[in-house]
Amino acid sequence: MVKKPLFLLIAGIYALQLSAQSSQTNALGTWNVLHVRYLINDKWNVFFEPQLRSLRFYDDFHYHEVKGGANYRIDKNFSIGFGIGHYDTYQEGGNFVTPKQNDELRTWLHLTMQQQLQRFRFEHRYRAEQRFANGNYRNRFRYRVQVSAPLNRAQTGVGALSAIAWNEIFFTNKEPYFERNRVFAGMGYEFSRQLSLQMGWLYQFDYRLTDEIGRNFLQITLQTTL
């Protein structure tokens, strides 16, 4: 029951990659995430997350980041957290081409709220970032709304295959204010209480003063809880 939806998702992503491979701008890149979480108690957890991205299908690697932080669960529907990370962006046209476009240290605070409506689970995340890059300081604010629903059973849990979609907007306190938008559609599968996998299509739109750039990515996220 699980194999067929996963196969259809992989086949769809492969078809998208084939149709876009002739264009550098529209090529399907990769967005690889490992999220490790350690539960201290029923209120506190800490996390560690490296990411690796490429502009073409596992080629032209141009970005990596590593970050970590902590979350505090206020109740079953509300949590707050903070984090710190280091982010490197390289030039296009190869793998980790120097000089770097951006070398950034970032801290942030966030609030997460969850809602359950029958089979559908909604998550709202509000994040305020403090960005230190190339000798400059900038603020950035992000809002993400996510909805997920199990496909092969009534509730989420071990063995559940879920459909997942989210949209995230990025904006600043300086003109032109709107900075970026990300849209994701995919599936997630929970192998055990300690291990889950999420995979799907992510589209990122960046607004710049001189151009407009959109990118397609295959995003794969492996999540593990200790």
pTM (whole model) above 0.85: yes
3-state secondary structure of 164: strand
d(CA 142, CA 104): 17
pLDDT, average across residues 153-158: 85
Structure-model confidence comparison of residues 148 and 6, the more confident one: 148
Each residue of 15-59: pLDDT tens digit? 555 555 544 557 899 999 999 999 999 999 999 999 999 999 999
pLDDT exceeds 90 at position 213: no
Residues whose CB is less than 8 angstroms from the CB of residue 192 and which lie 6 or more positions away in sequence, other chains included: 158
Angle among Cα 182, 186, 187 to the nearest 5 degrees reads 140
Each residue of 73-104: pLDDT tens digit? 999 999 999 999 999 999 999 999 999 999 99
Find how far residue 60's CA is from the centre of its chain.
19
Percent of the chain with pLDDT over 70: 87
Q: Could you tell me the fold of the domain covering 3-225?
A: Porin (2.40.160)
